[in-house]
Each structure stands twice: as structure tokens, then as C-alpha cells.
Chains A and B, each alone.
Chain A
Amino acid sequence: MFRKYEFKSETEANTFIEALGVDEDGNPSHPHSIVRLGNIVLTEGEYDSEGEVITEPVLSTNYHVDVLWSGNAYSSWDAKMVWCPPMGVHTFGSSRAIAEWTEKCKELHPEYFPQNESTDI
């Protein structure tokens, strides 16, 4: 199961992630896939033809983490769960996970899915 989370800081995210377990060598001992997106770009920057910044990108002040849970998402993380229009800035390359996330997102946030089902040419 794929879910997106937002934390107030990297420190807070680390607390949640480390609570999932680490082994004697400090490696994750849990079966879940964790991707730290960090302070994601909310508004793209603008650049000139030489690649120089015209307008700096706007970054989120919160720290974002995507998790591909092995099984169901941990309920202890639920308060940090967030939803966005599909698929946001990152996804896991799993058909099953993407389909389940999309279905749930549509159920909870139909506003993220265009209602225009036009057949007009």
C-alpha cells in the first residue's frame, strides 16, 4: 500500500521512520520502502535561456515522505497522511499500489479528479 506523508521537520520524520526498526548495523530492519522527498517544490522556478534563475522555486516548509508499505499502512502514521492530485511529485513503480492509491484518493478527494468528461470535438 502506497501512502504520502507530511511532517513538520526532517527530525520528526526521522522519529517515525526509525521507529519502524533498524538492525545491528543501523540498516532498516522493516520490509517497507521509504522515500524521503524532503521539502518538495510547490511552485517551479523560472530560468532564462542560459539556465540562470529568474524566479526561485517555492519549496514546502514541511518534510515529505512517501512509503510503500508491505501490507497495510501503519495507523500510527495516519495523522501525517496527505493526499494530492495524482501522482504528485513522486510515485512507486507498482501497478497494484498506484491503482489502490488512485482509487482511495478519488474516494476521499474527488476534487482532484477532473469532472469534465467531454466528448466534444
Chain B
Amino acid sequence: MINDASLVMIPSGYKDGKLYSVKPTDGSGDFTFSRGSNLAATRVNSEGLIEKGRENLLLQSNTFSTTWIKSNVSVTSGQSGYDGSNDAWQLSVSSSSYYMKQNLVTSNVQTFSVYAKAGTLNWLILGMGGGTFTQASFDLQNGVLGTTTNAIGSSVESIGNGWYKCSLIINKTTTNRIIYPAIDDGDLSASSGYIYIQDAQTEAGLVATDYIETTTTTAQAGILEDMPRLDYSGGSCPSLLLEPQRSNLFDFSEYFEGSYWGKTQQGSGSVPVVTGNYAISPEGVQNATRVQFDAVGSTSSDRSGLVRDFAFTSGTTYSISCWVKATSGNNELVQFRVAGAQVGGEQTATDEWQLFTATHTATVSTTDNFGMQVRGNNTTNESDILIYGMQLEQASYPTSYIPTYGASVTRSEDSCYKTGISSLIGQTEGVVFVEFDQNLIGQSATRRIFALNDGTTSNRITAYISSTNKIDFYVRNSGGDLFYANSTSPIGNEKGVHKIACAYKDEDYAVYMDGDLIISGTGTAGTIPACSRFDLGQQIGANDLYEPINQALLFPTRLTNDELASLTTI
């Protein structure tokens, strides 16, 4: 039956701003996709890891002969690199008072990284100006850290063949990135000698990720601004994420050691011990934080918490989410606090990463805490867990992770549509099929599953989930309504996949969902509206469905009811 479809979209191929359709194959059915957010957008990729939008903020990241400002040093290209290339550089000292730097103003949590290898000098120092000077020394002969000052931390990782990936992690406003060859730990008294360097990078976050080459502008990787997010949370078959605009209200979603996050105790409880970059996170890199809670006592007044205070008003709904795993492999317990209330019950962390969520509506107006806590009267009063990606949204359900490194961040809304395809849309009869994954229950807004239209709401064929959780099917042309009906029963409150097929033809309408006929009728005689645009999970940029889409098909003919039943059977 799928061979009869004029357009087949099964989430698979994509690029920035484009979601490819499987059919037609000439590109005429490819969807336009927009979001305008890269650094705030994440997905679970095909490896099961959280993938972020990343950016190398340095210019000429491996062309040290330009843009980089040098004082009493010189660079020579064509050296053997860590990656088997000849792309490394020799950084040579010609006299004292030397440095090589690039001016770059950044703020908040950043990681500056460089690959380096010992030459005639055995130490590398990475530095950053702006306020109190920040620096870290790296022993390139033995692969160990020297002194680090005024920073969150530093790391050195052996890459092989004497090469090390050296990183300096900060949370402050800085004005430059500086590379020094050195004689010893913090010792810049050399007047000659050299080291090898390659691939410098500055990026947001607590860890140096895979290198991104830059030239005269910064460069991005991972999730790009208008890239469709094919999400593999549900397994090996991806869904197209279509999410609303959302903000993570927490300023720091991964850095919990700083003062932003309160480490609190009440009664006989102890403040939690927080250790950053302790373990591999769901992102697949070393940026998960260990938190050791100990309420000590046995009453609900004995508490150990990791929280942040916000002012909130009664009636406002919040959703909190965080990835959690037991540190030792033994099950551990933790509870969320939202608007000063203990919500969501005890959550059990295991030796697998899990996304814990809770939603709560404030019942008072005051300032109180949001975060995590263990109390004395929990099943156990101690908990040793790993956490990553704490998120707070002012909304009735949580969405995908929005990383923050020093300020609240907003991810804009996903939008997916195709214009100019009147040749693919049945103009006098046809079928629209959409498979979506229902996650949201009890939403009050009307949510479009799809809309065929001409760019206006005067001519449209649309199906939507109503505020009463029923399916509505609506066909109208510029002269008025041709057909409007809704299902007699709500679609149910269970999360899961739904397949819906909506057939239209003059005085012959039907909707099948999950194998069952839920709407049929003849409507009013009239001309089927001429449509040229296909909106997926919305209607001309509004009334969004906000559910993952698994596939969408257009048929230029009205299929039989038996075919519709077969097409939609789960």
C-alpha cells in the first residue's frame, strides 16, 4: 500500500534545515525544518547517548601562524600530529617573556583544551586573563597535572605516541586563551626550547569534547540550529522530536560544585558532598557529578539537600528532571523538591542511567527550594548517586534536556512543514496518515496532528486532538465547512504509539485510528479545498501537537476503509 503513497516521510535522512522524505526521491517532498537553537537542543542519538549542539569559539584553531598573537615565540607547521597527520605545530621559545594567545571574551562554564607533546621542553601551561589570572600546568613527559589555580579544574589524557589532551575548566569571564611552553610546573623562565601543539578548542561545558576545526569563524558540530532531531529514546527506530519553546530555569545544569547550588542540611543531617566530573554521564563523557547525601537521623526533619531557591507563585506548575545513577551499583534513593515541596515520591537510582521527572503545582507564593534531597524518614537516609542535566521548566511536563552553564537558556520551538506540493496532495480526494507517539496526557489546548492547507486557515484539511482528548477531523474551503466531526470517545490516557489515517473525498469522509473507524460521514457537498502545504504536528506554525512523529504519508486517492484499517493497525 505504501507504494501508492505520493509522499513518505520516515525519519531517517536530514541536514540543517531539512528533513528528507523517502518518497518522492527527487527532493520535492522534503520538509523544511526550523528551530533556531543549537546550544539549547539535545537528543538521544543512535548510540543511546545525549547529543548536544557544540561550538569551538576559537578562530584558526589549528592555524597558529595567523590570528594568534605571539610574543617571543614562533610556530612551525607540518609536524607529526596525534592523529597520524602532519598537522601539528612546533611552538618554540625565542627569548623570555613569551606567550601565544588569542583574545576571546567568554563567560560562565568553559573548557579550553589543546593537544600537546613534549619537545625539548616538557611542560605546557594553559592560561586565561580577565580578573584573577587562571592557569594550569601539564607535565608532558609523565602525563600528570601540575598546579591549577583559579579554575574549576583541569585534566590530562594520554592519546598515545607522547601526545596528551590537556584541558582547563573555568567558570568566570575571561578575555583570552594563552599557550605557554614551560620548563617546569608554573615555570616560564625558558629562553629557548619547544613543545608540539595541535587543535585548540574553547567550548561551553565541563569537558573537552571531540575537536571542531575552525578558520575565520567559529564552527559548530552536533545539533545545529535548524537540524531535525531524530531521537532514539524509544529504541532503534527514531522519532522526529517536535517540542515547544522551553527554558531551563536552572543556571547550572551540570556544574553543581559552585555556590549557585545550595548544599543544605536540616536537623541532624549533613550537607551533601559534591564531586564534579566524577564519572561518565549519559552524554558519554566525564562530566557526571557524584552527590553523597546523608540525612544522618531518622525523622523527616533530618535532611541533606542539593537545592536552589526561587521565588514562585501559587498555581504555577513546574516540571523538574535529572539523569540519575547509583554510584556504587547498589540501589539508592532520592527525592525531588519543587517549590519547597517533596514531590514525586522516592526515586530509585540503579546502576543504569535513568531520567527522573516530577511535576508539581505550587500551592503558596513564597521563595523556597528546588532540587534534590534525602530525608531521615526515607527508606534509607543515605544516598550516593551520580547526577547529570538537572532541569527545571515552568510547564506541566518535561521536555528534552537544555544544557545551562551560567544563565537560564531557552530552546525555541521546532517547526516542520512543506510548501508547494499541490502535486503530491490529493486535490479532490486523498488520505493523510500519521504515526505519532503519545506522551502528553490531559492537555487543555487543541493540538494539530497535521494540516493540509494553502498557507491560510480558509482552505484546510486537519486532524487534531481536542481539549477533551478526542480526535477532531475538519475540512473546509473558502466557502465554509465541508466536514467537521469528532470521535465519540477520548483517545485514552495511556502513553504509546497511535496510527491515524484521515480520508477525504466529496461527501465521503472517514478517520481510522489504531485499526478502528472512529469518524465517518458525508458532510456538505462542495469542492475539496485546494491545498499546497503540509504541516506536520502543527497548523501553519501554531496549535502544535508536541509529540514525536514516527512517520507520515500522503495518498492522492481515497483508500478503502479496509485499507485504512490495515494501514492503521498497530
User: Could you list which residues of chain A lie within 8 angstroms of chain B, going by C-beta atoms?
Assistant: 23-25, 27-29, 31, 33, 35, 45, 47, 49-51, 53, 56-57, 59, 66, 68, 70, 85-99, 102, 106, 113-121
Chain B 39-64: CB-based contact to A (< 8 A → 1; otherwise 0): 11100000000000101000000000
Complex Cα gap A33–B38 (Å): 15
Listed by A's residue number, 26 A-B pairs whose Cβ atoms lie within 8 Å are A23-B542, A27-B543, A53-B309, A56-B367, A59-B311, A66-B410, A70-B36, A86-B173, A87-B407, A88-B407, A90-B409, A92-B36, A93-B40, A93-B53, A93-B402, A93-B409, A94-B36, A98-B39, A99-B218, A102-B105, A115-B175, A116-B130, A117-B103, A117-B175, A118-B129, A120-B129
B549 part of interface (Cβ distance < 8 Å)? no
B477 part of interface (Cβ distance < 8 Å)? no
Chain B residues with Cβ below 8 Å from A92 are: 36-37, 40, 409-410, 412
Complex Cα gap A92–B41 (Å): 11
> Which of B266, B412, B413 counts the most chain A CB atoms within 10 A?
B412
> Which of A106, A116, A121 counts the most chain B CB atoms within 10 A?
A121
Are B262 and A119 in contact, CB atoms less than 8 angstroms apart?
no
B125 part of interface (Cβ distance < 8 Å)? yes
- A86-B105, A117-B103 known; 9 new pairs, CB 8 Å cut-off, are A27-B543, A33-B245, A35-B245, A66-B410, A91-B407, A91-B409, A93-B53, A93-B411, A116-B131
Complex Cα gap A98–B55 (Å): 12
Least CB distance, B38 to chain A, in whole angstroms: 6
Complex Cα gap A61–B509 (Å): 56
B515 part of interface (Cβ distance < 8 Å)? no
Complex Cα gap A85–B131 (Å): 14
Least CB distance, B419 to chain A, in whole angstroms: 15
B271 part of interface (Cβ distance < 8 Å)? yes
User: Could you list which residues of chain B lie within 8 angstroms of chain A, going by C-beta atoms?
Assistant: 36-41, 53, 55, 71, 99, 101, 103, 105, 107-108, 125, 127, 129-131, 133, 135, 173-176, 178, 180, 186, 188, 218, 220, 225, 245, 247, 251, 262-266, 271, 305, 307, 309, 311, 367-369, 402, 406-413, 445-446, 457, 541-543
- Top-10 shortest CB links A-B: A93-B40, A118-B129, A93-B39, A90-B408, A93-B37, A51-B264, A33-B412, A119-B99, A114-B130, A50-B266
Are A119 and B413 in contact, CB atoms less than 8 angstroms apart?
no
Whether A68 touches B36, Cβ cut-off 8 Å, given contacts A27-B543, A49-B264, A89-B408, is: yes
**Which residue of chain B has its CB nearest to the CB of A37?**
B408
Are B410 and A119 in contact, CB atoms less than 8 angstroms apart?
no
Chain B residues with Cβ below 8 Å from A98 are: 39
Least CB distance, A49 to chain B, in whole angstroms: 6
Chain B residues with Cβ below 8 Å from A31 are: 541
Least CB distance, A71 to chain B, in whole angstroms: 11
Whether A114 touches B175, Cβ cut-off 8 Å, given contacts A92-B37, A99-B218, is: yes
Are A95 and B105 in contact, CB atoms less than 8 angstroms apart?
no
Are B309 and A45 in contact, CB atoms less than 8 angstroms apart?
yes
Complex Cα gap A37–B71 (Å): 45
Are A119 and B129 in contact, CB atoms less than 8 angstroms apart?
yes
Complex Cα gap A41–B105 (Å): 24
Are A121 and B176 in contact, CB atoms less than 8 angstroms apart?
no
Least CB distance, B201 to chain A, in whole angstroms: 15
Chain A residues with Cβ below 8 Å from B55 are: 95
Are A49 and B265 in contact, CB atoms less than 8 angstroms apart?
yes
